[in-house]
Amino acid sequence: MKRIIITGATGMVGKAVLFEAIEDERISEILLITRTSVGIEHSKVKELLISRFEELPNLDVSLTPYDACFHCMGVSSVGMSEKDFNQVTFKLTKILIDALHQANPAMTVSYVSGAGTDSSEKGKVMWARVKGKTENYILNKGFKNTYMIRLGGLLPEKGIKSKTRWYNAIYFITRPLFPLLKLSKNIITTTNFGQAMINTLFFPPEKEILENRDLNRLANKT
């Protein structure tokens, strides 16, 4: 039985992990670190509500008992300067990662970055550089296992919706194509994504960077 932490559970990606974790008998406890309540009441689920992520190191809460953190929190870079995007992506992640490592370096940490993330940190695409910098910090921190989740095309299931309106509009328009899109190993459903994330704890991948094709394979392991 595993105890896990999820960030970003109000969004589509984090909620995908949350839904599958609730249903998975191998998961005994779920701690949601979030600014606003997810609004789900379940015996497994606890919420740690924080208005500012910078408060995390000073809170009277123990992260030591947890086996894993699925860091799904993120924002779109559209309309943001590199300074602002770096603040909410790298700096807030660093606060979380430092707190987790201090509490339990044997923890497994999975970070959802995105397809196209730039590990060199030197490319022309701003968001990819910042995500690459964030990945590298986590990989070099010294946890037992770390997985960088370079998520690509994601199809919502089980009533999950994106917090971004125009994403939902695209999903609505393309929904008739979902059965065909699901045939591609480079597209993943929220169900398979959540299952794959949880399976990193029970079937640890050899690779540290996982893309949709890897995640689909991992989701089907039993």
Q: Would you state the pLDDT for residue 58?
A: 82
Question: Is the CB of residue 134 less than 8 Å from the CB of residue 145?
Answer: no
Q: What DSSP element (H or E) covers 31? A: strand 27-34
State the fold for domain 2-219.
Rossmann fold (3.40.50)
- pLDDT digits over 110-160, tens only? 999 999 999 999 999 999 999 999 999 999 999 999 999 999 999 999 888
Q: Would you state the pLDDT for residue 166?
A: 66
DSSP string computed for 85-147: HHIIIIIHHHHHHHHHHHH-TT-EEEEE--TT--TTS-SS-HHHHHHHHHHHHHHTT--SEEE
CB count within 10 Å of CB 53 equals 19
CB count within 10 Å of CB 52 equals 9
Per-residue pLDDT of the chain (222 residues; tens, 9 = 90+): 999 999 999 999 999 999 999 999 999 999 999 999 999 999 999 999 998 888 888 887 899 999 999 999 998 888 899 999 999 999 999 999 999 999 999 999 999 999 999 999 999 999 999 999 999 999 999 999 999 999 999 999 988 877 777 677 777 777 877 787 777 889 999 999 999 999 999 999 999 999 999 999 999 998
Question: Is the CB of residue 191 less than 8 Å from the CB of residue 158?
Answer: yes
Distance (Å, whole) CA 142 – CA 102: 11
Give the Å distances, CA to CA, from 188 to 127, 140, 146.
Answer: 22, 28, 21
Those residues whose C-beta lies under 8 Å from the C-beta of residue 221, and which sit 6 or more positions away, are: 199, 202, 203
Those residues whose C-beta lies under 8 Å from the C-beta of residue 151, and which sit 6 or more positions away, are: 13, 112, 113, 114, 115, 188, 193, 211, 212, 215
Beta bridge partners of 60: none
- Specify the amino acid at residue 187: I
